[in-house]
Amino acid sequence: MRIAHITQSYPPMVSGASFAVGHLAKDMAARGHKVLVIAASERDKSYITLENNLTVIRLHSIHNPLRVGQRFLFYPRRSILSSLREFQPDIIHTHDPMQMGLLGLEYAHQKNIAATLSIHQLPWFVSAYLPEILGIRHIAESLLWGYARWLLQKFSTLITPTQTITKIIADMTGIKSRTISYGIDLQTFHPRLSSDEETVARTKLNLPPNVPVILHIGRLDTDKRVDQVIKAAALAMQKTDAHLLVVGDGRQKPALLKLCKSLGIAKRCHFPGYVSIQEGLPEIYRLANLFVTASEIETQGIVLLEAAASGLPITAVRATCIPEIVHEGVNGYLAEPDDIQVLSQAMVILLQQPVKAKAMGQASHLLTEGHNIQITIDKFEQLYTKLVSQQAIQHKPENFNFYQWQKRIKEWLNF
């Protein structure tokens, strides 16, 4: 097959969507399919990379002021359609419901081929970046859900990573989607850590030997609620000798460092920045005693899968899809959003009861066997084959046009 992915974010940009597309594109190419990826360039200029069956076209992009290290495309219609015409895909897979998704649909309808959309974010995830005044967030969410109801029906298939997101999409739009996990590479993320690996990792991170480690990995942005993690960890650190390790980067990093200082835990907090797999991310998971997150906006949470695959018990909040990965009392504990006391108490239990923590970590690892990345790739390959064989879009509208969205948004604004 000839498979085209259209996405804003792609490695080395850091996001869950970026990593998901990266795995999918590379693994499909490794299976012998011809794969094209069109994405925003992470540099100041456009460029193309060629690797066996995988072609990646990085187009000129603009810096995203809301996200560290993220860039986005601005009106790339001519470049994208030209690239697609040259590649002649059998199927289009888009990962952005805005301009990228519209362009993928436009080409798919011109050529009468299937177009599918992976849903990596929901409207309220986007509105979290807006100020909470004059009902702006509510208005934005209403507009985005209205747009979604119009757009999503035009794709052959919608794909979500969890049952929770599938249900939300169905409830809000009336449209069914297919659930396929992002998957996790169990050869890379696993619980086995040698003493030499741990020594090297602790030295690199400036972690004292033998101290327990509370681990958080993710973007340091407002929507990830890392301040809640720090406040809860500070309470747990009063009762244990644990250190807090916060891996990642984002606009909130200076404020979070200041928060640690104000809570009197700065000397026991470590912020190494973003760490890639090649730089030792798997070893960081393996040396930790537990993983914690307070994020309420996950569609699946790749870091949760990575932590579970690494054999860690998890403390998290009961929100969106998180209970699909963190099972209360089995492989971790769940707190209600903003309940710092419960989040902290769960950390203390896991730190003070290592036998229980180990058993929960084993349960975490067992859970991820159903998320093996090869299962994910198999499901996508089967889906692509089915859609290509049908040679038609399941929900093909008449006279679809790229500019219809402008008219529809005007209608919503005048509602």
pLDDT at res. 53: 96
**Residue extent(s) of CATH 3.40.50.2000 domains in the chain:** 2-183+373-413, 195-369
Task: Indicate the fold that domain 2-183+373-413 takes in CATH.
Answer: Rossmann fold (3.40.50)
Q: What is the pLDDT of residues 251-277, one digit of tens each?
A: 999 999 999 999 999 999 999 999 999
Peptide bond into 76 cis (omega under 30): no
3 state DSSP class of 66: coil
3 state DSSP class of 106: helix
pLDDT at res. 403: 54
Share of residues in the chain with pLDDT > 70 (%): 92
The dihedrals phi and psi of 327, each to the nearest 5 degrees, come to -95, 115
As its CATH architecture, domain 195-369 has 3-Layer(aba) Sandwich (3.40)
CA 56 to chain centre: 20
**Mean pLDDT for the chain overall:** 90
- What CA–CA distances, in Å, run from 107 to 72, 87, 104, 111, 397? 20, 12, 5, 6, 13
Length reported for the chain: 415
Residue 395 pLDDT exceeds 50: no
The arithmetic mean of pLDDT across residues 348-374, rounded, is: 96
pLDDT at res. 415: 43
The arithmetic mean of pLDDT across residues 319-336, rounded, is: 96
- H or E element: which one contains 29? helix 16-30
Q: Which residues contact 99 (CB under 8 A, 6 or more apart)?
A: 73, 75, 76, 77
pLDDT at res. 397: 44
240 and 348 in contact (C-beta within 8 Å)? yes
